[in-house]
Structure 1
């Protein structure tokens, strides 16, 4: 049975004039007011339900709100892992098109923060028991801290608001508070919540905020703040990293099993995490967003079957995926089959690539109510159909998670991949079409509001990655840690285990760089740390963590200051598809001048040759100018 984040405020009938919340404005008008509505346990529960909308707030880059480029993919598009398929879809950070903002930009202390503070202010005078009071204070601290974790990441120093502010409150017009002071308060509140949150599942319901959720946020926040403080040279990183490890290990003990899936494909547990009807039955899920037909459906699978899906991967990101033997593509003995066609690029690669980008294939079209198909005479065309499983009937809805050949929302056949272009369904410019949420069982017939696959919010896979990275930063990462973290993920994916002793400076010739302040040439990342980070990028690909990660690592220039390219192609093929080619040795050409006979598809101009590229000011967001006009005590972030 699916459990929902359905607000109970409608049932409670609370109308609070002091909280201008659009959700509550839709509730029935009764004689309940702020002064008499906060009494029972259920009153507090009803009032706090709208805070679950925090997980779908579109100012958070890991948000589940919206489809594709406007939802969970947004953070990885900003990081340069993905891009939009249109010629105007270049990265705003790489090409310095980030607009100055007068309002918004995630600078929000009124909606969620105000709601939490209102609730907290009424706890002591309620009729609840002391244990119940502690529970709701802990839940309030959880949501307050989760939102502040995002505020700190965006702006650094921010005002600290822990009371209900009125228009004439002096605190509403104070200065920004030092980042460390705020971060310490966030950590203290999360620690208090962890120790005092109650076990009230029978009253709150399953799939609600509990101790494990608090620990998941401590794990995330500890790593995020600790590494930010280290690589941005702010000091006092170790405390946060140690808290990340402590919380992570408690969760690892509580969730020892990874989901291996039911579909039978390589890496099925990884792929099914985003295409499963009920994540409440899946091991390793700590909290999830539930979708139910006719109540709160979602459209992620549907949109990926249409021409409105704009998200594609570039060659730089594809090249990050390991071979199944655990080696980078350029490493000695990797067995990489080359990049001269998409079949070779995908051959013997980490199966997580197949669950993120549609593998190549080609079939013959047939006839019938639903399009039939048959194999071509070329055995290579069915290589990935055999791996992913054949879509025998092409019915809509069909069977299983991801099947080949694909079909669009109306069950029209996608006869081949790659499928270049920008107009027709299931097309992209790079050739690497992202389909993380695609499945065959959800009804998609021209209606995005039919999809019901649940989506994870907190899961043990992220915790394992947090643990591995934090342990390295603390100087205690070894083979034992690798086996408990990264190698559990690789075992599930079907990739050979990491052997720490084998990783040296030559392990990956294309190892990434980070850029300390004032160092424009960059420094190579430690080879073991690079493999830990690679695992994080691949495992969490398409979940929005990218823009957080490349900023806290100070690696944004390495990911963004390079041309975005696609498949390798001959000049003849490129001209047939009206595409431009790029070769790192000779530059780019449209093929008409004869200077380039083959190369990668050229998607966007080289940002550095354009005189653009990542700016250090992008590490922090701009404080909206209207906020500074309203409160002259606020100072702008550097460079804005």
Structure 2
């Protein structure tokens, strides 16, 4: 059974699984024990390599993933929990809304024994090492970064947590101590990050390693997250964190003034190619990334999305959040939206092109014969509309050419003749019609049950900083200046091909369907300010599929608005739904219309009305085993 410590371990077989390209050029250090690991600067560096696995640790929902942990077990999870996305099987309902979440005996992210212990061991040997003071400060700073980055997750999940910054054993009283108040722990995290920024120095640990910019990035993310949590959850001191966020943003925005525009001809290709580019080294706006190399550490992100193993899809509610290309919400009378009670072709027409880079657009082709058939256009102009938009996949080969091309194919290059492709079981199918393909490209080699993909994946990128800046400025000042919008949101929109956000044009009627937040004990909710809602919408869209959703809807206190609703898919004819084993949603009853229902067409019914979000879900449950082991630990409210 776990406590917040583990027995002294042998530190052996340290693999270079971090983000650093240069790691791949070095001979692995083996048989490295605590007694031999701390004789030189390079020893400290080798000892800290495993901390880079924090960026692929799926406890942190915004982490990317490696190997078989891609897809539903990777960075999509945070947006699945938030209700932005869902799994495509009939039991894929949201665990925080469609069922009463049960008790957790162990795990749940309550972990002080892996990364935290390693960092504490490293710190404990700094003073006795032969390094210079500047070198000692550097490694203390690197430790501060990783220690703080993990504590950011612990705070977000549990609020009050034990503070562990020394090596513990079974006789350490701290191992059985109480949780420390969120206020103290959060201040410790921010203090440690600021100290790290001032003391990390200019040492060369190799390309693509933790540096001042990474520390600023953590300050920005934590400052926004903690500042807004405090504001909307009735805690004091939120403005101080927002100010730290804004100060870090200013430095990073000056250092990274350019967004990546992409190389592909598809719309918003710079947005999409962040996840499908073979080498992110030198790409504008990339601050830290995970490097993948053939025959060393390939992954399966692209492969999975070409198979029936990929269960992630989007629902109609999330699709409706995407703006029109003219910058108007679909409910705005000036938007020109054509999709009301219409099929997917109309729903996607003239929409924010980031939607096309996230969900496969609709199309239909005529297939030839054979195992790997040729194809031809159907002759209907609508069927090829989005093929022309995204670029034509002329060969359907594996590997093919280019990024996101239509028509699609599975991992063998077998043709996907149409989208939406409704149902489950066969490759590239989903129940909602909105198949998520964020990691899909045509150039990577795919092989059944094998990891051959080598597209790098971003960890820290300037786009998030721009979104943090816009939101923090509004939350701190109660407004946002147009000049700030031009420096942040409108840079993202320009790349995406969406008209600019104009603050003066946004009033209560701009989006009649804007969201609500729910102050404690207010079950009816309060409409979000219309300008703030547009800032949040931009964040949702730009970071879709990157795992931020569950962090965001909880700190905004908007979880009921996103989760307490029936989940539906695209609009289809009744016979189309029934042929796929699906039914339509009847808004008059709030339930499925059934196979023999009265509706001739409508949205696909996916999951029933949820049992509802509970207040206790804003914080995770402390595992019950931990409380049994340590009677000084108190449980979070409601659990």
- Asked if TM exceeds 0.5, the reply is yes
2:194 to 175, 191, 194: 191
- Change in Cα spacing, 1:236 to 1:371, as seen in structure 2 (3 Å) is same
SS in 1 for 2:628: helix
1:435: Cα distance to partner? 0.3
Structure 2: gaps (5+ residues): 1-5, 17-27
2:554 to 544, 551, 555: 551
1:302 alignment partner in structure 2: 303
In the TM superposition, 1:212-223 aligns within 5 A as 212-223=213-224
SS in 1 for 2:52: helix
C-alpha deviations, 1:409-462, integer Å up to 9, x for none? 011000000000111000000000000000000001324410000000000000
Q: Is the 8 A contact 1:81 1:314 kept in 2?
A: yes
Q: Distance in 1 between matches of 2:289 and 2:502?
A: 33
1:103 equivalenced with 2:106 (yes/no): yes
Q: Distance in 1 between matches of 2:146 and 2:317?
A: 37
1:209: Cα distance to partner? 0.3
Q: Distance in 1 between matches of 2:106 and 2:299?
A: 29
Q: Distance in 2 between matches of 1:593 and 1:346?
A: 29
Q: Distance in 2 between matches of 1:24 and 1:265?
A: 42
In the TM superposition, 1:104-123 aligns within 5 A as 104-123=107-126
Q: Distance in 2 between matches of 1:549 and 1:596?
A: 36
Q: Distance in 2 between matches of 1:400 and 1:151?
A: 40
SS in 2 for 1:280: coil
C-alpha deviations, 1:437-491, integer Å up to 9, x for none? 0000000132441000000000000000000000000115110010000000000
Q: Is the 8 A contact 1:265 1:389 kept in 2?
A: yes
1:171 alignment partner in structure 2: 174
1:411 to 410, 413, 424: 413
Q: How many residues align?
A: 618
2:225 alignment partner in structure 1: 224
C-alpha deviations, 1:332-381, integer Å up to 9, x for none? 11000124110000000000000000000000112467421111110110
1:34: Cα distance to partner? 2.3
In the TM superposition, 1:420-459 aligns within 5 A as 420-459=422-461
1:621 equivalenced with 2:620 (yes/no): yes
2:138 alignment partner in structure 1: 135
Q: Distance in 1 between matches of 2:617 and 2:336?
A: 39
Q: Is the 8 A contact 1:96 1:614 kept in 2?
A: no
1:35 equivalenced with 2:35 (yes/no): yes
Segments ≥4 residues shifted beyond 6 Å: 25-29
1:498 to 494, 498, 501: 501
1:571: Cα distance to partner? 2.2
1:29: Cα distance to partner? 6.7
Q: Distance in 2 between matches of 1:313 and 1:526?
A: 26
SS in 2 for 1:98: coil
2:22 alignment partner in structure 1: none
1:585: Cα distance to partner? 3.4
Task: Compare 127-136 and 20-29 and name the one that shifted more.
Answer: 20-29
2:85 alignment partner in structure 1: 82
Task: Compare 368-377 and 75-84 and name the one that shifted more.
Answer: 368-377
Task: Compare 597-606 and 630-639 and name the one that shifted more.
Answer: 597-606
Q: Is the 8 A contact 1:586 1:596 kept in 2?
A: no
Q: Distance in 2 between matches of 1:251 and 1:28?
A: 34
TM-score if structure 2 supplies the norm length?
0.94
Q: Is the 8 A contact 1:23 1:50 kept in 2?
A: no
1:463 alignment partner in structure 2: 465
In the TM superposition, 1:233-272 aligns within 5 A as 233-272=234-273
Structure 1: gaps (5+ residues): 1-15
SS in 2 for 1:363: strand
TM-score if structure 1 supplies the norm length?
0.94
1:57: Cα distance to partner? 0.9
Q: Distance in 2 between matches of 1:209 and 1:392?
A: 42
Q: Distance in 1 between matches of 2:33 and 2:549?
A: 43
2:49 alignment partner in structure 1: 49
Q: Distance in 1 between matches of 2:126 and 2:575?
A: 71
Task: Compare 119-128 and 537-546 and name the one that shifted more.
Answer: 119-128
- Change in Cα spacing, 1:23 to 1:600, as seen in structure 2 (3 Å) is farther
Q: Is the 8 A contact 1:338 1:344 kept in 2?
A: yes
Q: Is the 8 A contact 1:405 1:413 kept in 2?
A: yes
1:529 to 522, 528, 532: 532
Task: Compare 485-494 and 120-129 and name the one that shifted more.
Answer: 120-129
Q: Is the 8 A contact 2:29 2:46 kept in 1?
A: no
